[in-house]
């Protein structure tokens, strides 16, 4: 079926590995194998599917390292590998995927620091960045402020992140959802969050943040959820 452009057989009870011959379907623009029981490694042959704009392999039992060849899929708009058993670091080749809008790797066993975010700064259309429930360690780098200003959702819960929230987050002025619940973030909440005037959700529960709750948060008129429990905050409750 060499002319096939869309293959969606997700939400089934498929088992076994992803056949390497899927790599022969070089006209594919959509490949959805999500929500089954597929196992084994993601075959390197998928790197030949250079016309893909949508790749969803989430909610399976896939294992092995994060496939570096995904950087060859330079037309991807959606990349979802959520809820598998992928291991190791995330490669910097992601920066080759300039049209990327949604990147979801939640619920794997990916490790290392967040240096791969520097490559995602090349993806100027990125709207959704979901890296929760992996054992990522280290601090949030200052260059997160260089991510796309189109970014709407940034979620990194249940990792092992330390240090403070970088003031450069204020550059992401369209951000609506910022969630870093259950990490080891410390220091104070930066006043620069005032610049995130489109923020709807700010979730910093279960960290080690200290100091007062900034008065400036009260100026975030669109905020719906403010979650700061289980930290080391001090001082009085702001009158707002």
Which are the contacts of 234, defined by CB distance < 8 A and separation ≥ 6? 210, 211, 212
- Per the CB < 8 A criterion, the answer to whether 100 and 75 are in contact is no
Interval 210-219 mean pLDDT: 94
Task: Locate 225 and state its tokens.
Answer: 């959820």
Percent of the chain at pLDDT > 70 equals 100
Q: What is the pLDDT of residue 64?
A: 97
Q: What is the pLDDT of residue 162?
A: 98
68 by DSSP, 3-state: which? helix
- Residue 115: which of 141, 96, 134, 82 has the closest Cα? 141
**CB hemisphere CA count around 149 (13 angstroms):** 4
Is there a common fold for 1-111 and 140-152+163-240? yes
Fold of 140-152+163-240: 3.80.10
Return the residue matching tokens 């003031």: 167
76-104 tens-digit pLDDT: 999 999 999 999 999 999 999 999 999 99
Q: What is the pLDDT of residue 175?
A: 98
Q: What is the pLDDT of residue 186?
A: 97
132-150 tens-digit pLDDT: 999 999 999 999 999 999 9
**Domain chopping of the chain, boundaries:** 1-111, 140-152+163-240
Q: What is the pLDDT of residue 134?
A: 97
Residue 219: which pLDDT band, with cuts at 50, 70 and 90? very high
What CATH code would you report for 1-111?
Answer: 3.80.10.10
Interval 180-209 mean pLDDT: 96
Sign of CA pseudo-dihedral 9, 64, 103, 155: positive
């Amino acid at each position: 079926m060499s002319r096939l452009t869309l293959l969606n057989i997700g939400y089934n009870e498929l088992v076994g590995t992803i056949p390497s011959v899927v790599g022969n379907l070089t006209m594919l623009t959509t490949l959805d194998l999500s929500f089954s029981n597929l196992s084994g490694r993601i075959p390197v042959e998928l790197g030949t599917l250079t016309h893909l704009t949508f790749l969803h392999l989430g909610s399976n039992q896939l294992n092995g390292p994060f496939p570096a060849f995904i950087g060859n899929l330079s037309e991807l708009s959606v990349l979802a590998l959520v809820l598998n058993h992928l291991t190791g670091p995330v490669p910097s080749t992601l920066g080759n995927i300039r049209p990327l809008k949604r990147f979801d790797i939640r619920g794997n066993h990916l490790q290392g620091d967040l240096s791969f975010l520097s490559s995602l700064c090349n993806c100027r259309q990125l709207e959704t960045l979901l890296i929760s429930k992996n054992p990522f360690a280290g601090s949030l780098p200052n260059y997160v402020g260089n991510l796309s200003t189109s970014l709407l959702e940034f979620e990194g819960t249940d990792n092992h992140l330390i240090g403070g929230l970088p003031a450069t987050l204020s550059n992401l002025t369209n951000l609506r959802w910022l969630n870093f619940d259950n990490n080891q973030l410390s220091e104070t909440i930066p006043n620069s969050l005032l610049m995130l005037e489109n923020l709807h959700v700010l979730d910093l529960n279960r960290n080690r943040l200290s100091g007062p709750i900034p008065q400036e948060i009260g100026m975030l008129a669109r905020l719906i959820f403010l979650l700061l429990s289980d930290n080391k905050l001090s001082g009085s409750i702001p009158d707002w």
